[in-house]
Amino acid sequence: MYFPMRSLRNRGYSTLRRYFILKQLRGNLRKLSYEPSSTILGIETSCDDTGCAVVTGKKDVLGESLFSQNVLHLRYGGVNPLIARDLHRENIEQAVSEALEKASINIHGIDAIAVTIKPGLLISLQIGVKYARYLAKTYQKPIIPIHHMEAHALVARMFHKIEFPFLAVLISGGHCLLTLVKDVDNFLLLGHTLDNAPGEVLDKAARRMKLRNIPAYSKLAGGKAIETAAKLSKNPELFSFPIPLVKNRDCNFSFSGIQDTFVRHLLRKECEHNAVGDRIIPEVNDLCAGLQMVIAEHIAHRIERAVMFCTKNNLLKESKTIVVSGGVACNNYIFESLKNVGNLLDCNVLRPPPKVCTDNGIMIAWNGIEKLKKGCQIHDISLDSIDPKAPLGTNIIDKVKEANLYVKVRRLKKLIQ
């Protein structure tokens, strides 16, 4: 830990004042050494969910709260940043209080505050960071800065016995990444999306199909509505979707072609049935099934190359694990499809419980515990530490490309009924 002795002197603090400031800092640090009883408050506000949780080193979730804005943003077919920021601001205090109350603990019983500082929407991240800094200053607590995507990957270790290194595929409304997790603070980026994220495509597709007009789906996230509708499909192969990037021998993703094909199918059917206004096409369930299937096929194809690359380069242990996390990992069809393909490759495929796959405070608090345990440097943060576009880990995408590994495309319908 860096003690800012000189900077305090430069700021004109007296010797006595310097002594008390440093004593206080050291006091916080002493509390910061890891113990199984270490208790961390996690705060997440990177997108549209205000999530807080109190988690211990023994993996106990003492209390949690989640103020989801999903229903509101459904109307816009995407997250409206200004509304997201205003709702975080409105809810943050209550979210923290609720998590602490449920944990039957007051803020004095917390050892540190973990908060998401990157990546995400700038004005949403600012609300969480400002509040964490206010709490830290008022109650003399250290802050542990957290990377949102690292937290999505690492939280799986709270629920399953997973050793480093492992592969993680992070699929959500804002991201799509394939990463090798070598340690708590050591990630290699194998691939990322070149355009949209899968959750974004699902949300837009759900809106375009007007699924919100079906009362049972009106309050569901777009991806969840599509999963529910797809289950009712009698003919999941009615609509054909080409798998993207089959000729690119890398682990990158692309979902814009899938979105275009989807819109073409929908327009054709809307025209055929004169489905104007609020009317929904009769083949809606089959279209949902086809869309969901090609998303799973595309992700599986990239995962297969990532496993091949890591195996060739001895980057994974003999017992290979793949973690699937992020909001889209809640989708049972997509998860089971990836699990089937992973198992064919001798990999154990795991995900956190679905409610921990989507954005939440638990994963942030847990990441704080992991960092504490690892002894990662914990430094003070300012609002300048916020990085909305922060990449994940060391980028080795070109190395994967150079390896030029051929992977045969698998059509999933043959694997999953």
List residues near Zn ion by CB under 5 A.
Answer: 172, 359
Looking up tokens 């609002």, which residue turns up? 383
Min dist. Cβ of residue 68 to ligand KG4 (A): 9
Contact flag: residue 142 with ligand KG4 (CB under 6 A)? no
DSSP state of 114: E
Single out the residue of 168, 78, 178 nearest to residue 121, CA to CA: 78
Contact flag: residue 290 with ligand KG4 (CB under 6 A)? no
For Zn ion, which is the closer residue by CB, 304 or 359? 359
Min dist. Cβ of residue 329 to Zn ion (A): 10
Contact flag: residue 331 with ligand KG4 (CB under 6 A)? yes
Contact flag: residue 45 with ligand KG4 (CB under 6 A)? no
Run of H or E including 339: helix 332-344
Min dist. Cβ of residue 244 to Zn ion (A): 22
Helix (H, G, I), strand (E, B) or coil at 350: strand
Query: Applying CB under 6 A, which of residues 128, 236, 290, 326 lies at the interface with ligand KG4?
Result: 326
Pairwise CA distance, residues 23 & 401, whole Å: 52
Contact 220/228 with Cβ under 8 angstroms?
yes
β-strand partners of 320: 347
Query: Applying CB under 6 A, which of residues 251, 330, 338, 412 lies at the interface with ligand KG4?
Result: 330
Counting DSSP H helices and E strands in the chain, the numbers are: 15, 11
β-strand partners of 167: 180, 322
Single out the residue of 10, 349, 25 nearest to residue 166, CA to CA: 349
Contact 50/70 with Cβ under 8 angstroms?
no
Contact flag: residue 156 with ligand KG4 (CB under 6 A)? no
Contact flag: residue 368 with ligand KG4 (CB under 6 A)? no
Pairwise CA distance, residues 151 & 365, whole Å: 9
Q: How far, CA to CA in Å, does 413 sit from each of 10, 137, 302, 306?
A: 67, 55, 17, 22
Which region, judged by CB under 6 A, interacts with ligand KG4, from 19-27, 166-174, 242-250, 277-285?
166-174
Query: Applying CB under 6 A, which of residues 57, 165, 199, 236 lies at the interface with ligand KG4?
Result: 199
Pairwise CA distance, residues 377 & 381, whole Å: 12
Query: Applying CB under 6 A, which of residues 359, 365, 372, 392 lies at the interface with ligand KG4?
Result: 359
Query: Applying CB under 6 A, which of residues 358, 366, 371, 393 lies at the interface with ligand KG4?
Result: 358
Min dist. Cβ of residue 396 to ligand KG4 (A): 23
* Count of residues that bind ligand KG4 according to CB under 6 A: 19
Min dist. Cβ of residue 150 to ligand KG4 (A): 13
Within 10 Å of residue 127's Cβ, how many Cβ atoms? 23
Query: Applying CB under 6 A, which of residues 52, 144, 153, 202 lies at the interface with ligand KG4?
Result: 202
Min dist. Cβ of residue 347 to ligand KG4 (A): 22
For Zn ion, which is the closer residue by CB, 286 or 359? 359
Pairwise CA distance, residues 100 & 114, whole Å: 14
Contact flag: residue 173 with ligand KG4 (CB under 6 A)? yes
> Rounded to an integer, what is the distance from CA 317 to the centroid of its chain?
24
Contact flag: residue 297 with ligand KG4 (CB under 6 A)? no
Which region, judged by CB under 6 A, interacts with ligand KG4, from 161-169, 324-332, 395-403, 408-416?
324-332
Pairwise CA distance, residues 308 & 249, whole Å: 12
Q: How far, CA to CA in Å, does 316 sit from each of 21, 338, 381?
A: 45, 18, 34
DSSP state of 347: E
Contact flag: residue 361 with ligand KG4 (CB under 6 A)? no
Contact flag: residue 118 with ligand KG4 (CB under 6 A)? no
Contact flag: residue 222 with ligand KG4 (CB under 6 A)? yes
Contact flag: residue 172 with ligand KG4 (CB under 6 A)? yes
Buried b (16+ CB within 10 A) or exposed e, 273-301: eebeeeebbebbbbbbbbbbbbbbbbbbb
Contact flag: residue 327 with ligand KG4 (CB under 6 A)? yes
Contact flag: residue 352 with ligand KG4 (CB under 6 A)? no
Min dist. Cβ of residue 357 to Zn ion (A): 9
Task: Give contact residues for ligand KG4 (rule: CB under 6 A).
Answer: 47, 172-174, 199, 202-203, 221-224, 227, 326-328, 330-331, 358-359
